[in-house]
Amino acid sequence: MLNPAMTWNTSGRHIPDLRNDFALVAEPVHPGARQLLDYWRERVADGGFVVGRDIPARRVVKLLPNVTVYEPLADGSDLRVRLAGGAIRRRFGKEIKGRYMSELFSPEDFKRHHEDSREVLRSGAPAFVDSRLLRENNLEMHLEVVILPVTAPDKISPWLLIGLFYFD
């Protein structure tokens, strides 16, 4: 089960006065998140979702700015960002392609994100999160996160595709 205690921020660093209130949800509600999930389900039903074959793809081109692809390291200790759309900069405040998950979050948040990522990879089941980034009690950012297990271009290795969809 995913851990419902993450803290996110817009700079990619831990900032003590920001907190993330979030809830796991059964299905996404954001239209972009639903479109990505529908596409993923179709590809999985048709033999699997493969990075490089199924994404990028014309059918989901409008969603690509909201997508991040993570590759787990062979030893399982971290995940490396292989692809990060332009809208991801809004969340982290910088380009994250090539960075490691451990560089994007505080040590305690990385531990939670890493465990949650490993659970999605292990189970093969997607996960959906309604996330509200708060400073004191003021909403800074509201987004929906879609976490999908996918296959690397080698058609063997498990990777993650994560969609961040903002409610504005």
- Total domain count, the chain: 1
Give a yes or no: residue 39 inside a domain.
no
Give a yes or no: residue 12 inside a domain.
no
Task: Identify whether the C-beta of residue 99 lies closer than 8 Å to the C-beta of residue 78.
Answer: no
**In this structure, what CATH number is given to the domain that contains residue 140?**
3.30.450.20
CA distance 43 to 51: 11
Q: What are the tens digits of pLDDT across the range 80-89?
A: 999 999 999 9
Pairing of strands 158-166, 79-84: unpaired
Give a yes or no: residue 121 inside a domain.
yes
Give a yes or no: residue 47 inside a domain.
no
Cis peptide leading into residue 72 (ω within 30°): no
User: Starting at the edge strand that comes first in sequence, how are the strands of the sheet with 138-151 ordered?
Assistant: 18-24, 127-135, 138-151, 158-166, 67-72, 79-84
Give a yes or no: residue 5 inside a domain.
no
| 78 pLDDT more than 90 | yes
CA distance 38 to 78: 28
Catalogue the E-assigned strands of the chain: 18-24, 67-72, 79-84, 127-135, 138-151, 158-166
Give a yes or no: residue 60 inside a domain.
yes
Give a yes or no: residue 136 inside a domain.
yes
Give a yes or no: residue 9 inside a domain.
no
Identify the domain containing residue 83 by its residue range.
54-166
Q: What is the pTM of this model?
A: 0.87
Would the CA dihedral through 100, 102, 103, 109 be positive or negative? positive
Predicted local confidence at residue 110, as pLDDT: 86
At 23, the pLDDT band (50, 70, 90 cuts) reads confident
Q: What is the average pLDDT value for the chain, to the nearest integer? A: 88
Alpha-carbon dihedral angle through residues 160, 34, 140, 135, given to the nearest 10 degrees: -60
